[in-house]
Structure 1
Amino acid sequence: MRSIKTIVVLISVLPLLVACAAATRPAWEYEENAITLLIEADNQLNMRDGKAFTLSLCVYQLKDPNAFLQLASDVDGLYKLLDCGVFDASVAMSKRLIIHPGQNLKGVLNRAEGAKYVAVVAGYYTVEKDRIVRFYKIPVAKKGLFHKKMVPQHLDVQLKLGAQQIMGSPGE
């Protein structure tokens, strides 16, 4: 009799435990001011023949990274990315920034509906993926005590634009 009560209690409590443990998928909704860009440009930015030049910087918000990563894998694709256009349905937003030598810029972007990734392509004279492309995944966190919910977090993108390339790690 006692074991039957224990089994009944376990069966009734088990769905509650499973519901509490399982986190829902994040809702990738539009959010204002969710992406911060901190850009520091070298005084010798985009150096060519001893002179510094302005630089075109394209910021992409992506729903899926595959088309972007495929384009970034060869020179022709990199030039297409530097056009800063919507090259595929996976592009939620693209924005071109013009960066001047020695400029420090703090910009805030709204996260586009469906955007899970941010990618940056810089228009340096030397067009090589490792020098001009950075890629970031928008972080998520679990929220809620009983009903765990995955929530997209804000993303801070810090870029140090050197004389010939984006400095630092190739992204996160």
Structure 2
Amino acid sequence: MRPKLFPLRIVTALLLAGPLLAGCSSSWLGGSSKDDALKDLKWSYAADGVQIAVRADPQLNRSDGQPHTLALTVIQLADPSAFTPYTKDPAKLAQLLLANSAPTGVLSLQRFFIAPNAQQTLVLPRAENAKYVGLATGYYHLDPPRDTRLYRIGVDVDSSGFLVKNHSAAPAPMKIDLILGADSILDAPDTRPPEVPPTQPKAGVVSSPPAPSDKASSKDGKSDKQDSSSKP
């Protein structure tokens, strides 16, 4: 009876060793790990690698109570720091919106014009070595924090094999949902001072105003002195 149990023991041993073999496949059996795949990742060109679903407000780019067409510039970058100047300096943002070719540090530049109430999908090729997609819009107020967005392109990692695992990594298709509001990209940070809601004044004693600072007092005193000296 023992010889019949021997194959069962072998099967059991193989089943128990399976996870170990799978985990060590990259070094023992010639497979590749997820880390190996990410190290070998190539940021290749893709014909339709970037898709931007655009929804525009009926009052898009509102000025003087009227909607207007909005300029949208899409750039692709390998280094996100190349996009930073356009998110902080209105003059730099204006230069980007008017550029006819990709500036330094930018891999590709494409410009579109979005009409009020438009709903459309823009399909763009992903440039070779592109890891980020930057969006710049030409709203009338030209406020960089509200008018720009930067997106990072993701990576897909696939595996194949049972005991010997082979992993491969490739840039994932980039899909962006872009909602253009009347005055800015939706959910963009607003740099305008917040509106203070009106309040109803109440009758009562008014507390004394704070005492002026020494600097203000000296300034006021100087001013009073000048005023008094000017009198006949």
Global fold match (TM > 0.5):
yes
The secondary structure found in structure 1 opposite 2:112 is strand
Provide the C-alpha distance between the structure 1 equivalents of 2:157 and 2:28, rounded to a whole number of angstroms. Answer: 18
Amino acid at match of 2:58: N
Is 2:82 the partner of 1:70?
no
Q: Post-superposition shift, 1:114?
A: 1.1
Q: Post-superposition shift, 1:14?
A: 7.7
Unaligned runs of 5+ residues in structure 2 are: 1-23, 190-232
Tell me which residue corresponds to 2:102.
Answer: 86
RMSD over aligned Cα, in angstroms?
A: 2.3
Tell me which residue corresponds to 2:178.
Answer: 159
Tell me which residue corresponds to 1:30.
Answer: 45
Is the 2:87–2:145 contact (alpha carbons within 8 Å) kept by the matching residues of 1? no
Is the 1:23–1:142 contact (alpha carbons within 8 Å) kept by the matching residues of 2? no
The secondary structure found in structure 1 opposite 2:123 is strand
CA 1:13–1:99: 2 relative to 1, 3 Å: closer
Amino acid at match of 2:125: N
Superposed CA offset, 1:113-143 (max 9, x none): 1111111000001112221001100100212
CA 1:123–1:112: 2 relative to 1, 3 Å: same
Runs of 4+ in 1 over 4 A off after TM superposition: none
Is 2:158 the partner of 1:139?
no
Is 2:139 the partner of 1:127?
no
Unaligned runs of 5+ residues in structure 1 are: 1-11
The secondary structure found in structure 2 opposite 1:91 is coil
Identity rate of aligned residues, in percent? 33
Q: Which has the larger radius of gyration?
A: 2
- Find 1:20's aligned residue among 14, 19, 32: 32
Structure with the higher helix share, 1 or 2:
2
Superposed CA offset, 1:93-115 (max 9, x none): 11000011111111211111111
Is the 1:23–1:147 contact (alpha carbons within 8 Å) kept by the matching residues of 2? no
Provide the C-alpha distance between the structure 2 equivalents of 1:17 and 1:133, rounded to a whole number of angstroms. Answer: 48
Q: Which has the higher contact order (CA 8 A, sep 6+)?
A: 1
The secondary structure found in structure 2 opposite 1:101 is coil
Q: Post-superposition shift, 1:18?
A: 9.7
Q: Post-superposition shift, 1:53?
A: 0.6
TM-score by length of 1: 0.82
Amino acid at match of 2:137: A
CA 1:13–1:86: 2 relative to 1, 3 Å: closer
Tell me which residue corresponds to 1:8.
Answer: none
Is the 2:86–2:144 contact (alpha carbons within 8 Å) kept by the matching residues of 1? no
CA 1:46–1:73: 2 relative to 1, 3 Å: same
Is the 1:23–1:150 contact (alpha carbons within 8 Å) kept by the matching residues of 2? no
Name the stretch that deviates more: 73-82 or 152-161: 73-82
CA 1:73–1:143: 2 relative to 1, 3 Å: same
Is the 1:37–1:106 contact (alpha carbons within 8 Å) kept by the matching residues of 2? yes
